[in-house]
Amino acid sequence: MPSIQKNNRAAALLAELRDDDRLSIERLALLVGVTAEELRACRDHVAVLPPVQQAKLGRAVAVRVPRLAKLARRLEEQATAAARVQSGATIVHLIAPPKW
């Protein structure tokens, strides 16, 4: 999941937010559990949000901004999968399991 690790999807989603979406960076930061500065740094490709926060970001945007729901849900799903891999809940195989 290189795009999750590089923060591309989260940054792209934040860049798509508009004033008429009625969801400020400050409000979104409260919902995600990060600071507004961290979200701005993510949007500007300066910093990377951890996968857990990226999943929360996707969930928050999907619920509150219908026009971005598709992109937001994709981010949430991929970030959740990345978090599972990082935590060891999902094992990454170099080759397919024998009975696959």
Q: What is the pTM of this model?
A: 0.81
**Nearest-5° angle of CA 57, CA 36, CA 82?**
30
Distance (Å, rounded) from C-alpha 29 to C-alpha 45? 16
Q: What is the pLDDT of residues 29-47, one digit of tens each?
A: 999 999 999 999 999 999 9
pLDDT at 3: 55
Please check whether residue 31 is in contact with residue 60, taking contact to mean a CB–CB distance below 8 angstroms: yes
Helices (H), the chain: 2-6, 8-16, 25-32, 36-43, 51-64, 69-87
Which domains are seen in the chain, by residue range?
Answer: 2-87 (1.10.260)
